[in-house]
Chain A
Amino acid sequence: MITSVTETIRERVKAIETTPAIPTIFLPLLELLNLAPERVKLDEVVKLVSYDNTIAAQCLRAASSPLFGLAKAPESIKGAIITLGLRRVQTILLTCCLGNAFPTGDWVLDPIVFWRHSLGCAMICQKFSNKLTSSDGEKAYMAGLLHDIGFLVNCMAFPKEFGVAAALAAREQIPLDEAERASMGFTHCETGRALAENWHIADDMVQVIAHHHAPEESEAAQPLVALVHLSDMLCRVRGMGYGYYERHRVDIMGDPAWGILLKEHKELEGVDLARFTFELDEAIPGVFELVSTIFGGTKKA
């Protein structure tokens, strides 16, 4: 039974992979991101982006978002890389690519709500990561951006089944993954993992996508998975959830993920979680603005 579900997921994911909506530069860019930063050359990225004017233009607009730190849009990709750094520009590019990777048709989830959550989680992951010593903020951002990619798979490959799950979640005010498990028998974690593996995304990211609701089950990169898990929960209680009230209490410091992170990062004990929460609220308008810049739309979450 499990095998047949896994097979069905794989087959349907393969069909998505061939969708023409995926920007041609997306997968090569992912490959570049898998490389160690010192092996990525500026010219390679510039050349890659020159194949897609739409993505390039979006990237330049997004670079001037308060989230990314430039007051004025840079005039070229090369200029953006010189000012913001290669890895930051790769992050922005991937954000834009991902936004274009899936057609914004008649989704089960409102695409604007989905992107607000994904970008919101990316922002929180990065801010969280910046509170920790020896933690890679760009990688954390990427993990936050990609963590719920399985919902996109569900929207495209399992629209009917996922529609039932989403309606159940909204009606009962329960987390979406609980509703998926109850009504579909699998979750966006499995479908996201299938897509990530198909795209040959780095294993750390696959672990995040597959285990962000249960970090203790991840086979590798547990601190990163734990960080995404906590950021995802914070994101959902600070107004960037899935468009409905989730009837739950989030106990960040009582969560096993907090314990996982604490083992690696003793400095976490000194974090003022209340102040951190207030600081996140300050960044939310920036997320909304960025989503409008990249994806359009003005609907409220």
Chain B
Amino acid sequence: MSGITSAAPAKIAATMDPIFRQIRDLVYKVCGIFQLEEKLYLMADACGRRMKQLGVNTPNEYWQLLTAGPNREAEMRQLLNEVTIGETCLFRSQAQLDALRKVILPELIADKSKQIVKRLRIWSAGCSTGEEPYTLAMNMLEETDHLLKGWKIEILATDLNDRSVETAKKGIYGDYALRSTSEYYKRKYFSVLGEKKLEVRPEVKNLINFSRLNLQDDSRMLFMKGMDLIFCCNVLIYFDGPSKAKVINHYYSNLNFGGYFFLGTSESLLKLNESFRLVHFPGTIGYWKPSLKSGKL
């Protein structure tokens, strides 16, 4: 059996120290984030910044610190911070939004149309400073005259960090956070605040309920029931294996049958939960809690 050599990597990746590829694989094993070959330079940059801060001279020395150093777990968290830095923005994953509006919403609406209360519940778990829940809210508002006519939408946005939650409630963003937001959405759902700042309009804010929540607080997690969709991007990467498995089990219970769970675009569940089913949509993957009628629980 012959194998195709992996990929068509950027030429830079080919000249890179092979240790960075090893670190990429270690990061995937530990937290489920996969850095594509063509973006391996980002991993190398992140390692470079950590190496500089630590005064480490070679990638090999850094590899030793990550795998055999006394503070390897703390160092891995630091590295993950560097890897995911600057990823947060509104409209971060168009493929997820397309899947949501073009595939998932029609399916959920059809499934739930016979219910007396026409309500959809969405949870942005680990919402940071609000970019994700606002993006979801705007996309839901776009559907209120079509698919979601007559439906009540509730978006719950939680984060561990009080300050992040307070910032999120304000809904004020600058150019960097808005770099993927189209003019259409800027005009329709934001007010100008001056100095290149835009503020989310009240009708968007009104869809969202922000609160502080520790995902490891079992008693509170048990009450987060009845969700149709859960988004949790680049949050679980900081959890160790058992904690992550526990949170994912909570998510599974929190979701209605037929509901969906999304991670970040390059994140995976690492087979930590066998009940969720990995499903593909154009350009993105998600996890599905099989519906009762599918008979595949």
Q: From known contacts A246-B282, A251-B288, A282-B36, infer whether A272 and B271 are also in contact, taking CB-CB under 8 Å.
A: yes
Instruction: Let me know if A247 and B4 touch, CB within 8 A.
Output: no
Q: CA–CA, A103 to B114, complex, Å? A: 53
Residue total for B at the interface (Cβ-Cβ under 8 A): 39
Per a CB cutoff under 8 Å, which of B8, B37, B103, B283 touches A247?
B103
B96 interfacial contact with A, CB 8 Å: no
B156 interfacial contact with A, CB 8 Å: no
Q: CA–CA, A234 to B280, complex, Å? A: 8
A245 CB, min distance to chain B CBs, angstroms: 6
B187 interfacial contact with A, CB 8 Å: no
Chain A residues with Cβ under 8 A from B2's Cβ?
85, 87-88, 137-138
Per a CB cutoff under 8 Å, which of B9, B102, B281, B290 touches A282?
B9
Per a CB cutoff under 8 Å, which of B6, B107, B268 touches A272?
B268
Q: CA–CA, A129 to B1, complex, Å? A: 9
Q: Per-position contact with B for A249-293: 1 when CB-CB < 8 Å, else 0? A: 111111000000000000000001111011101111111110000
Instruction: Let me know if B38 and A136 touch, CB within 8 A.
Output: no
Q: CA–CA, A251 to B281, complex, Å? A: 9
B277 interfacial contact with A, CB 8 Å: yes
Per a CB cutoff under 8 Å, which of A130, A253, A282 touches B3?
A130
A residues contacting B by CB (< 8 A) are 65-69, 85, 87-88, 123, 126-127, 129-130, 135-138, 173, 233-234, 236-239, 241, 245-254, 272-275, 277-279, 281-289
B246 CB, min distance to chain A CBs, angstroms: 20
B222 interfacial contact with A, CB 8 Å: no
Q: In this complex, what residue of A is CB-closest to B284?
A: A237
Q: CA–CA, A277 to B283, complex, Å? A: 10
Chain B residues with Cβ under 8 A from A85's Cβ?
2
Q: In this complex, what residue of A is CB-closest to B104?
A: A249
Instruction: Let me know if A249 and B283 touch, CB within 8 A.
Output: no
Instruction: Let me know if A248 and B103 touch, CB within 8 A.
Output: yes
Instruction: Let me know if A130 and B1 touch, CB within 8 A.
Output: yes
A-B contact pairs, 19 of them (CB 8 A): A66-B9, A68-B4, A85-B2, A87-B2, A127-B3, A135-B1, A137-B1, A137-B3, A138-B2, A237-B281, A245-B282, A247-B102, A248-B281, A250-B281, A251-B279, A273-B278, A274-B32, A282-B38, A286-B7
Per a CB cutoff under 8 Å, which of B4, B37, B296 touches A69?
B4
Q: CA–CA, A278 to B269, complex, Å? A: 13
Chain B residues with Cβ under 8 A from A245's Cβ?
98, 102, 282
Q: In this complex, what residue of B is CB-closest to A273?
A: B278
Instruction: Let me know if A278 and B266 touch, CB within 8 A.
Output: yes
Q: From known contacts A238-B283, A274-B285, infer whether A126 and B4 are also in contact, taking CB-CB under 8 Å.
A: yes
Q: CA–CA, A85 to B36, complex, Å? A: 29
Q: CA–CA, A246 to B98, complex, Å? A: 11
Q: In this complex, what residue of B is CB-closest to A286?
A: B8
Instruction: Let me know if A241 and B282 touch, CB within 8 A.
Output: yes
Instruction: Let me know if A233 and B7 touch, CB within 8 A.
Output: no
Q: From known contacts A68-B4, A126-B4, A283-B7, infer whether A249 and B279 are also in contact, taking CB-CB under 8 Å.
A: yes
Chain A residues with Cβ under 8 A from B282's Cβ?
236-237, 239, 241, 245-246
List 17 extra interface pairs beyond A251-B288, A285-B9, CB under 8 A.
A66-B8, A67-B4, A126-B4, A127-B3, A127-B4, A130-B4, A238-B280, A248-B103, A253-B277, A274-B270, A274-B278, A277-B285, A279-B7, A282-B38, A283-B4, A285-B7, A287-B8
Q: CA–CA, A248 to B283, complex, Å? A: 11
Chain A residues with Cβ under 8 A from B104's Cβ?
249
Q: CA–CA, A127 to B5, complex, Å? A: 10
A286 CB, min distance to chain B CBs, angstroms: 3
Per a CB cutoff under 8 Å, which of A238, A282, A289 touches B37?
A282
Q: Per-position contact with A for B1-25: 1 when CB-CB < 8 Å, else 0? A: 1111111110000000000000000
Q: In this complex, what residue of B is CB-closest to A279?
A: B6
Q: CA–CA, A136 to B1, complex, Å? A: 6
Most chain B Cβ neighbours within 10 Å, of A85, A234, A248, A287: A248
Instruction: Let me know if A173 and B102 touch, CB within 8 A.
Output: yes
A237 CB, min distance to chain B CBs, angstroms: 4
Q: In this complex, what residue of B is CB-closest to A124?
A: B4
Chain A residues with Cβ under 8 A from B99's Cβ?
249
Q: In this complex, what residue of A is CB-closest to B282?
A: A237
B28 interfacial contact with A, CB 8 Å: yes
